[in-house]
């Protein structure tokens, strides 16, 4: 089993500061999630920071408590599970064999008031102890944004089913980060993100705040899935809720290996009209974005990315193909974005740092017989392909 190198360990220690005790750190031990817990009630968040404390004190208090599970005295998932190969799988077992209810963190990118978030929480309430922490405003398409240059505020909220939830004035990634940096004083067995208004298919996952929240969980050593639903005029989440429940049970029973998550997309149909659940690969999105140029009331132009919703290539086996054919698409995703085939090909390229390999490229006219034609894109102006200007805005 590969273990973290001493260098990596040293770096980790340097960033987080010295350990509070001199005891050797059990870096590679997986978090024993199946140990009986003293209580099933989720702990109240650590709120001992008073506003009168100066920022430095608060910073120190936060970095001290982020390492240890305040309830069990164990390292948090972000510390202990990281680097332990197959730690996520080791915790998996049939639901009946869990000695306590799994802890499930629920988040999204549409914001704390989204009905999809509530539907996801209510779908998973029967399976585990759910905790809801989500952005306070819609953060769709923020990707994996993490807020580092300003403070984050957390507010306690009451959902429409009476449950307590927490909103963060940041991104979905911030919400998940808070949880894994010790806000709740314990770790989680699973993170579920959604139910997003609108599908996240193929290339969408590179923009998606919903999927990024699940990625942030995986980076913190916790299994996760993202779930999105095609746009409904009047959203009905019963099919998506059923899918969320099935995916949750499967992950808790089978586990995910480190670096893996599951992306779920639900078609906008009723349960009766759905064909079933298909295990798919990522498809290819076709975006139809347009740059809309208008003038503000002071005559200064502004730009807005608009256009019709994206389409996609309906290739069999892809998530896009499944959803357009009324299947629920379940796609395994990994954080390792290495292009394996290119990696192999690049080994044959020229990489030596010797002087003769660092050569200036001759201009095209210096090469005898070189075509004078510019490259296909070179002559195209940098202006948008589609410009719409309203007559109203121009004042004409």
Query: What is the distance between the terminal CA atoms of the chain, rounded to a whole angstrom?
Result: 72
Q: How far is the CB of 210 from Mn ion (least distance, A)?
A: 6
Beta-bridged to residue 260, according to DSSP, are 334
d(CA 167, CA 107) in angstroms, rounded, equals: 10
Cα 164 to Cα 138: distance, rounded to the nearest angstrom: 19
Of 33 and 193, which CB lies nearer to Mn ion in the complex structure?
A: 193
Of residues 284, 287, 267, the one with CA closest to residue 276 = 267
Q: By C-beta, is 33 or 114 nearer to Mn ion?
A: 114
Binding segment for Mn ion among 34-42, 134-142, 313-321, 368-376 (CB under 5 A)? Answer: 134-142
User: Stretches 132-140, 179-187, 344-352, 384-392: which one binds Mn ion (CB under 5 A)?
Assistant: 132-140
Nearest distance in Å: CB 307, Mn ion: 18
Q: Is residue 230 near Mn ion by the rule CB under 5 A?
A: no
Whose Cβ is closer to Mn ion: residue 138's or residue 250's? 138
Residue 22 CB contacts under 8 Å (≥ 6 apart), including other chains: none
Q: Is the dihedral angle over the CA atoms 160, 157, 175, 137 positive or is it negative?
A: positive
Site pattern 186..225 for Mn ion (x: CB under 5 A): ----------x-----------------------------
* 3 state SS of 293: strand
Piece of the chain touching Mn ion by CB under 5 A; list 20-28, 106-114, 187-195, 361-369: 106-114
Nearer to Mn ion, 80 or 266 (CB): 266
Distance between CA atoms of 299 and 303, rounded to whole angstroms? 13
- CB hemisphere CA count around 127 (13 angstroms): 29
CB burial string 223-247: b at 16+ within 10 A, e below: bbbbbbbbeeeebebebbbbbbbeb
**141 vs 393, beta carbon nearer Mn ion:** 141
Closest CA to 129 of 186, 72, 91: 186
Number of residues that bind Mn ion (CB under 5 A): 4
110/216 with CB nearer Mn ion: 110
Two tokens, residue 354? 């010797």
Span interacting with Mn ion, options 9-17, 137-145, 259-267, 387-395, rule CB under 5 A: 137-145
Q: Which is nearer to Mn ion, 33 or 140 (CB)?
A: 140
Conformational region of residue 317, where left means phi above 0, alpha means psi within -120 to 50, and beta covers everything else: left
User: In whole angstroms, how close is the CB of 330 to Mn ion at the nearest point?
Assistant: 19
The two three-digit tokens of residue 347, written as one number: 């080994």
CB of 282 to Mn ion, least distance (A): 18
Residues 138-177, one symbol each (x = binds Mn ion by CB under 5 A, - = not), give: --x-------------------------------------
d(CA 393, CA 299): 8
* Among the listed residues 109, 189, 204, 319, the single contact to Mn ion using CB under 5 A: 109
Of 189 and 204, the one with the shorter C-beta distance to Mn ion is: 204
Closest residue to Mn ion, judged by C-beta, is 140
Distance, CA of 383 to CA of 389 (rounded, Å): 14
Segment near Mn ion (CB under 5 A), from 118-126, 136-144, 281-289, 350-358? 136-144
- Taking the complex as a whole, the smallest distance from the CB of residue 291 to Mn ion amounts, in Å, to 22
Give least dist CB 230 to Mn ion, A. 13
Long-range contacts, stretch 55-59, CB < 8 angstroms, 24+ apart: 55/151
Residues within the interface to Mn ion (CB under 5 A): 109-110, 140, 196
């Amino acid at each position: 089993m590969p273990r973290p190198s001493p260098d990596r360990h040293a770096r980790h220690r340097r960033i987080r500061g010295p350990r509070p005790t001199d005891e050797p750190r059990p870096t590679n031990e997986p978090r024993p999630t199946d140990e009986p817990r003293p209580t099933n009630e989720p702990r109240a968040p650590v709120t001992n920071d008073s506003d009168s404390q100066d920022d430095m004190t608060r910073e120190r208090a936060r970095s001290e408590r982020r390492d240890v599970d305040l309830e069990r005295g164990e390292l948090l998932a972000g510390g202990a599970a990281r680097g332990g190969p197959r730690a996520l799988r080791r915790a998996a077992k049939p639901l009946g064999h869990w000695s306590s209810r799994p802890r499930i963190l629920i988040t999204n990118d549409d914001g704390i008031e989204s009905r999809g978030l509530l539907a996801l929480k209510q779908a998973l309430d029967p399976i585990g102890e759910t905790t809801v922490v989500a952005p306070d405003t819609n953060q769709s398409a923020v990707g994996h944004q993490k807020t580092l240059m300003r403070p984050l505020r957390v507010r306690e909220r009451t959902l429409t089913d009476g449950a307590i939830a927490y909103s963060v004035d940041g991104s979905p990634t911030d919400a998940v980060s808070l949880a894994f940096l010790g806000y709740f004083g314990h770790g989680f067995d699973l993170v579920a993100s959604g139910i997003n208004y609108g599908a996240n298919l193929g290339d969408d996952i590179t923009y998606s705040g919903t999927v990024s929240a699940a990625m942030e969980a995986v980076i913190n050593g916790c299994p996760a899935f993202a779930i999105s639903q095609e746009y409904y005029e009047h959203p009905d989440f019963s099919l998506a809720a059923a899918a969320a429940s099935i995916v949750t049970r499967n992950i808790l029973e089978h586990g995910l290996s480190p670096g893996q998550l599951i992306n779920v997309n639900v078609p906008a149909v009723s349960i009766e009209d759905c064909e079933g659940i298909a295990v798919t690969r990522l498809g290819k999105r076709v975006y139809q974005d347009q740059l809309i140029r208008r003038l503000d009331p002071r005559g200064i132009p502004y730009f807005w990315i608009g256009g019709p919703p994206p389409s996609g290539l309906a290739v069999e086996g892809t998530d896009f193909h499944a959803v357009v054919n009324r299947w629920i698409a379940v796609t395994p995703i990994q954080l390792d974005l290495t292009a394996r085939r290119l990696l192999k090909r690049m080994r044959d390229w020229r990489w030596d740092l010797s002087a003769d390999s660092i050569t200036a490229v001759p201009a095209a006219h210096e090469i005898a017989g070189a075509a004078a034609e510019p490259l296909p894109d070179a002559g195209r102006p940098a202006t948008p392909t589609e410009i719409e200007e309203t007559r109203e805005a121009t004042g004409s």
